[in-house]
Amino acid sequence: MTTTDPLAPFQWLNVAESEGGGRLGVIFSVAFFRGLDPAEVVRRFSRGEDSGQESDFAELDDRVYEFVEETDGGDGGGHVGVLQTGEWCVAIEPFGWLVTLHEVLPRLSRGCEVVAVTRHDYAAEHGFEYAIDGTIVTGYRPRHPYERYGSDPDRLNGHMRELGMGLDRPEDEAAWDAAWEDNYDTAVPRGFALAAKITGVPFTEDMLARPMLVGPIVDPFGDVEGA
């Protein structure tokens, strides 16, 4: 009997840098927003300064490249591309990690629902966050699914177990080594498979060929009232 690997559709997001890194490279974030339209998602990232311009992934990639060259990469990619799919908007942040930061996500998720995944090979830390109306409900570092946090850290446990994640904290050195071995190469595809279970939206490579609204990320850490 053949079985379907639930991680297979997301391996394009897990290509090693030594093998080219894939279309999005080894640093990027993708967030799924429910309750906002694409223009409003762009406004969230730009703090109301921009509603986005109709464009495509190539233009987004070019803007990110220029921003990274100007800033030496320490401030992320500086731009986001947003497209609609069903009830959800997909926000793509090449060379960025802001949407999974605890200082930023509560503001971005105000009045809506957000599922966000970050791959960041250079920091050796990936991120997964699920937030509703300004509150982080469940989050975890994808290589450490047994260290969950948030207002309801166990809400996603059923989905996580279906994806083969070990949710119990390792009790000895051998268990720690086994957990690390299990999670090291599967963390990113498991994170995107979990996002798909929550949203019903698998993030597929052909989405990068779709039209999107592209806009800047403005003052992400500023303490400003409203979105």
SS3 206: helix
Q: What residue numbers bound the domain in which 147 lies?
A: 23-216
Position 183 scores a pLDDT of 84
129-149: average pLDDT: 97
Residue 16 covered by a domain = no
Residue 14 covered by a domain = no
Tokens 């300064």, located at residue = 49
157-167: average pLDDT: 96
CA dihedral 92, 194, 183, 122 (to 10 degrees): 10
Position 32 scores a pLDDT of 98
Residue 227: pLDDT above 70? Answer: no
Residue 135 covered by a domain = yes
Position 124 scores a pLDDT of 62
Residue 41 covered by a domain = yes
Cα–Cα distances in angstroms (integers) from residue 73 to residues 78, 82, 190, 213, in the given order? 9, 21, 27, 23
Residue 15 covered by a domain = no
Residue 122 covered by a domain = yes
Residue 123: pLDDT above 90? Answer: no
Sheet with 135-141, edge to edge strand ranges: 53-55, 212-216, 79-85, 88-94, 27-34, 113-120, 127-132, 135-141, 144-149
Query: How many distinct structural domains can be found in the chain?
Result: 1
27-52: average pLDDT: 97
Mean pLDDT across the chain: 93
How do residues 85-116 score in pLDDT, each as one tens digit? 999 999 999 999 999 999 999 999 999 999 99
Residue 1: how many other CB atoms lie within 10 Å: 2
Residue 7 covered by a domain = no
Residue 11 covered by a domain = no
Q: How far, in Å, CA of 220 to CA of 198, rounded? A: 26
